Amino acid sequence: MFKKLLYGLSLFIALILGIWFLFEGTRQLSYAAYLSEIRKGDQAFKDGNYEEALSSYTRAAAPLFADKALLHYKTSLVYYQKGEVFFKELIENPGMIASLLESGADVALSYYNKALGEIQQMDAQTIPETLRWKSYYQLGNIDFRRILLLQGNADPLKVQAEVERLFREALQHYQNALDARPPTLNREEKILEVYLKQNMEYLMRLYDKYQTEKNKTRPDIARPMDIQSQVEKLKLLMPALDLSPDVEKDPTKGGKFGQGQDKGIK
C-alpha cells in the first residue's frame, strides 16, 4: 500500500514538474519573442519605417509580462516622429498653397495628439525613474510643436488662450523633466539632456517673441505673470545642466533620439 502511494506521489510530482518545465520553456520563448519585437521596432524606428515600428511595438505589448510603460513611451516617440514628417514639410516649403498647409498642420497635430495619448496612458505610479524624466520631456516637446502649429493660425487672438495654456504646460513639463532626472546619466541620456536644454532655450525665446508681438497689437493686455515666473525659474536652473564637451550639440541631428528642435525655430 505504501509503495503504491509513493509511486502515485512520484507520478504526480513528475507531472507537475513536466507542466512547470513546459510552461517555463514557453514563457522563455515568449519573452525572447517579446524582446525580438522590441528590437525590430527600435531598428524600424531608427530606419524611419514608422508603421513597421508601430506594428512591432503593438505585438510586443501583447504578453501580460510586457513593460507597458516602456512600450507606450516608444510608441509615443514614433507618433511624434510621424508628426515631424508633416511639420518639417511645412517649415521647408512655406510656399505651399494654403489648403495644403492647413491639411499638413492638421495631420501633424493629429500625430502629436496620438503621441500625447500614449504618454498619458503610462501609469504615473509605476513609471521607472529612468523613463519618468524622458516622458516629461516628451510631453514638453509635444506641447512645443502644438504651440508652433497654433501660431500659424490666421487669427492669433482666436487661439491666444490655448497658446498661453500650452506655454504654461510645456515650461512645466520641461521643469518636471529637469527635476526627475536620475542622479547618473549614460551617454545617450546626456545627449537627451542637451536637447532638453536647447528646447527650453528655444521655448523661452519663442515666448519672448510671442509676448513682444502681442504687446504690439494689444499693449493693454498684461504679460501673464505665472508664465514669466516659470521662464525666470528655468533660466536659473540652466547652469545646473551637465553639458559635456563630447556631446553632440546640434539639435537638428536628433537621429534615433529624434528630439532636437529645428534651427528654423527662433
Residue by residue, DSSP assigns the chain as: -HHHHHHHHHHHHHHHHHHHHHHHHHHHHHHHHHHHHHHHHHHHHHTT-HHHHHHHHHHHT-STTS-HHHHHHHHHHHHHHHHHHHHHHHHH-TTS-HHHHHHHHHHHHHHHHHHHHHHHTS-TTT--HHHHHHHHHHHHHHHHHHHHHHTT-S-HHHHHHHHHHHHHHHHHHHHHHHHH--SS--HHHHHHHHHHHHHHHHHHHHHHHHHHHHHHH-TTSPPPHHHHHHHHHHHHHGGGS---TTS---TT--TTT--PPPTT--
Residue finishing a domain among 22, 41, 66: 66
Inside any domain, residue 71? no
pLDDT tens digits, one per residue of 20-37: 444 444 444 488 888 999
Residue 72 lies in a domain: no
Considering the domain architecture, whether residues 36 and 124 belong to the same structural domain is answered as: no
**Structural domain total, the chain:** 2
| Dihedral (Cα; 240, 230, 211, 170), 10-degree rounding | 90
- 226 in any annotated domain: yes
212-225: per-residue pLDDT in tens? 888 776 655 555 65
Dihedral pair phi/psi, residue 218, rounded to 5°: -135, 70
Are 110 and 11 members of one domain? no
73 is a domain residue: no
pLDDT, position 258: 37
Q: Are residues 170 and 61 in the same domain?
A: no
C-alpha 162/C-alpha 144 separation (Å) is 12
State whether 248 and 160 are in the same domain.
yes
Same domain, 58 and 102: no
- Whether residue 85 is found in the same domain as residue 216: yes
3-state per-residue secondary structure call for 50-111: HHHHHHHHHHHCCCCCCCHHHHHHHHHHHHHHHHHHHHHHHHHCCCCCHHHHHHHHHHHHHH
What is the pLDDT at residue 26?
43
* Average pLDDT, rounded, for the chain: 75
Q: What is the pLDDT of residues 95-123, one digit of tens each?
A: 554 455 556 678 888 899 999 999 988 87
The residue among 10, 37, 66 that closes a domain is 66
In a domain, 202, yes or no: yes
Q: Is the same domain home to 57 and 85? A: no
- Clarify whether residues 1 and 109 are in a common domain: no
112 and 243 both lie in a single domain: yes
Given a cut of 80, is residue 49 above it in pLDDT?
A: yes
| C-alpha to C-alpha distance for 145 and 203, rounded to whole angstroms | 10
**Structure confidence by residue, pLDDT tens digits, 173-232:** 998 998 888 888 899 899 998 999 889 889 988 888 888 888 776 655 555 655 666 666
Whether the pLDDT of residue 70 is over 70: the answer is yes
Predicted local distance difference test score (pLDDT) of residue 24 = 41
Say whether both 253 and 209 belong to one domain. Answer: yes
Would you place residue 38 in the very low, low, confident or very high pLDDT band (cuts 50, 70, 90)? very high
Domain end point (choices 66, 91, 117): 66
Residue 75 belongs to some domain of the structure: no
Which residues span the domain enclosing 96? 80-266
Chain centroid, CA 234 distance in Å: 20
Answer yes or no: do 16 and 54 share one domain: yes
Q: How confident is the model at residue 235 (pLDDT cuts 50, 70, 90)?
A: low
Are residues 175 and 136 part of one domain?
A: yes
- Give the three cell numbers for residue 64: 501580460
Angle between the N-to-C axes of helices 187-217 and 156-180, in degrees from 0 to 180, rounded to the nearest 10: 150
Buried b (16+ CB within 10 A) or exposed e, 134-171: bbbbbbbbbbbbbbbbbeeeeebeebbeebbebbebbb
Predicted TM-score (pTM) of the model is 0.69
